[in-house]
Structure 1
Amino acid sequence: MKGTLYRLNSESTTPEFYWKLKMNNELKEPAQTYYYDAQKKIHTEETLVYEKGKLKEYSYIRHNINEQAMVTITDDGLLFTRTFNGQIKTSTKEYRKNYLFGPQIVTFIRDNFKALEKGTSIEINYGALNRLNAYRFILKRDRSHPLNSKDKLIIKMDADSFIVRQFADPIYFVLNKNGTKIHRIIGRALPASNINGKIGVIDSDFKIRD
């Protein structure tokens, strides 16, 4: 699976990143993703490791800001580790229902599409490894979004906490009507910007193709 990411609300027609996903075909779950910059150099990458059919470890590297982060799922809970500019920090958290990391959100929506299509709200705990934590979000169909059409519907991912909503805008997933394909993801992307040492977030219009 491949895709292109464009800066949200930008007049530029040039992609910010090119994206590639490799699947674990046995589990039908994501295994690796790569974000390439305009020069086709790897900018950001993710790896998911499974054990006995379940996620055991998720990690990412953001090469341009010298950051590596990982979460390991243990019998006791979650162990977060982040290395940034040579400094290592760790954190442990209790395991809660519907923990998701990175591209797992895509397959979670796929697997829960029937409930979401009917308007059911689903609570998830989505990993933010740069903060050594995970935060509660609500997935729900958004019938008022302007991208709704006769052949597309929208799933909204919004933070459950007012405080988290101050720094995390909603993310929108544009799907076909039967939920078998996500066409676009609009909102915060994993890659970060680094302009003269100033690190920033990137909001994108992420267009996915097979």
Structure 2
Amino acid sequence: MRLRHKPWAKQEMDKVPHIVIPNPTECKGNWHEVFGNENPIYVEVGTGKGQFLTGMGKVHPDINFIGIEKYDSVLVTAMERIKETGQPNVKFINKDVEGLEDFFAENEIDRVFINFTDPWPKNKHEKRRLTYERFLKLYERILKPGKEVHLKTDNQGLFEYSLHSFSKYGMILENISLDLHKSQLEGNVMTEYEEKFSRKNMRIFRCEAVFRD
């Protein structure tokens, strides 16, 4: 996908430090204080334009959500959505996912979402996939024991790879769907890509991978 550069994006996000956290490393271990409550904290890696987290925040006001997105020209749209709705339970971090351990303490997070991430189909790019072993290690460290990763994708190759990667890592697979929108899953909140693909009658693959206690 070709990104449209928005040179003003960073400046606009700097105006709302209560939405786009300017120094996430300073919040490590103290995110409950940032939100002002003790509610569970869910993280979406590669949050894009924020439709998923905006929707989740509305459906689950008793859960705190943090979206991580490195492209400010994309994240600014997510920021504008939350600025408009005024949802206090959704925050964003304008950084690379690889810095997860810099932003979150061990056992601080309750769930990780990976939605429609770049599949990096070439074998030489395997290590960039967000379900590669080194990323699973990051998720495991910041998640509480026994918590899970939720994956949604339109890419069958990435989905099959991820199932293998999760299993190889020793995770327990649950609620596997090979066609999400024809399944019985309740409460599904769609991303921008998911809406686009569903209109084209494309299959959406989904699963939950649980780390062992």
Higher helix share: 2
Using structure 2 for the length normalisation, give the TM-score: 0.30
Using structure 1 for the length normalisation, give the TM-score: 0.30
Higher strand share: 1
